[in-house]
């Protein structure tokens, strides 16, 4: 019997048939956390029927600032900072404003946050430190070095690895993946992007998290069973005992 792995970060685009991807994942002993962030995949995450996260915008939470009207919502996000397409004071101010609004929602609901950071490490770190959420969250699809990981761990955050860790040129990231403590590591696909080796180039799907999990287990020198157990436990501590996942 395959050990159960939770894909803690996938997106459903409008062209994805979420029900089929979820069914396939279930048949491969993979649990799914559907993540929003923009108006489109906030909606598909919420409608997917699996535990979901969505960013606080009108397409998702709307005026319903109480969780009873959002069954299955286990996190806020993804949210964060991205200067890949360029930086300006206006862009940063806009992202800070959106971050603050969503972090406030997370605080008021005591939900963890799912954090995206790309070419924005210092801003992300300072924003997380400043907001000081008691529940913290996870830095998803992490690509940073050991030093950056350590500072985020010190702030109380979990670190999640996607298929990027399997890429040939990701040696520095593999050092980080060996470094993250056993009680702070998570695994994800970030599908439909970032398929792990040996599936690179294909459209990614939640079931493929098994490849990344097996890779990380071997890298960290533990059995897949042990790695699965550790990451399930971390998923449970961060997102709660979710019945749909059987944890």
Residues engaged in binding Zn ion (CB under 5 A): 190
40 three-class SS: helix
Cα 236 to Cα 146: distance, rounded to the nearest angstrom: 25
Minimal CA–CA distance to 48: which of 58, 33, 37?
33
| Radius of gyration for the chain, computed over Cα atoms and rounded to the nearest angstrom | 17
Q: Which is nearer to Zn ion, 38 or 226 (CB)?
A: 38
Question: Shortest distance, CB of residue 221 to Zn ion, whole angstroms?
Answer: 28
Find the shortest distance in angstroms from Cβ 9 to Zn ion: 6
Q: How far is the CB of 141 from Zn ion (least distance, A)?
A: 7
CB of 226 to Zn ion, least distance (A): 27
Task: Give the residue with the Cβ less far from Zn ion, 141 or 230.
Answer: 141
* Pick 125 or 190: Cβ nearer Zn ion: 190
What is the number of alpha carbons within 13 Å of residue 13 lying toward its C-beta?
8
Q: Residue 7 or residue 190: which is nearer to Zn ion going by CB?
A: 190
SS3 (DSSP) at 132: coil
Report the alpha-carbon distance of residue 179 to residue 154 in Å, rounded: 13
Smallest distance from the beta carbon of 42 to Zn ion, in angstroms? 12
Residue 121 or residue 190: which is nearer to Zn ion going by CB? 190
DSSP string for residues in 188-240 = ---BTS-PPTTSTTSPP-GGGHHHHHHHHHHHHT--HHHHHHHHHHHHHHHH-
């Amino acid at each position: 019997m395959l050990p159960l792995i939770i894909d803690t970060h996938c997106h459903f685009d409008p062209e994805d048939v979420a029900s089929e991807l979820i069914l396939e994942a279930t048949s491969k002993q993979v649990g799914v956390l559907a993540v929003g962030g923009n108006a489109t995949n906030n909606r598909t995450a919420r409608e997917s029927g699996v535990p979901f996260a969505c960013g606080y915008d009108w397409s998702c939470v709307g005026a319903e600032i109480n969780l009873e009207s959002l069954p299955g919502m286990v996190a806020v996000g993804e949210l964060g900072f991205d200067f890949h397409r360029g930086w300006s004071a206006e862009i940063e101010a806009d992202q800070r404003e959106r971050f603050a609004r969503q972090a406030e929602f997370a605080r008021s609901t005591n939900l963890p946050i799912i954090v995206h950071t790309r070419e924005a490490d210092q801003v992300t770190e300072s924003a997380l430190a400043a907001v000081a959420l008691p529940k913290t969250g996870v830095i998803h699809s992490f690509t940073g070095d050991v030093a950056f990981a350590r500072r985020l761990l010190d702030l109380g955050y979990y670190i999640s690895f996607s298929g990027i860790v399997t890429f040939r040129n990701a040696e520095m990231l593999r050092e980080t993946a060996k470094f993250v403590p056993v009680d702070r590591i998570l695994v994800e696909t970030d599908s439909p992007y970032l398929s792990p080796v040996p599936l690179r180039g294909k459209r990614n799907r939640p079931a493929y998290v098994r490849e990344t999990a097996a890779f990380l287990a071997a890298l960290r020198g533990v059995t897949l069973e042990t790695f699965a157990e550790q990451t399930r436990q971390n998923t449970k501590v961060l997102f709660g005992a979710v019945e749909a996942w059987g944890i």
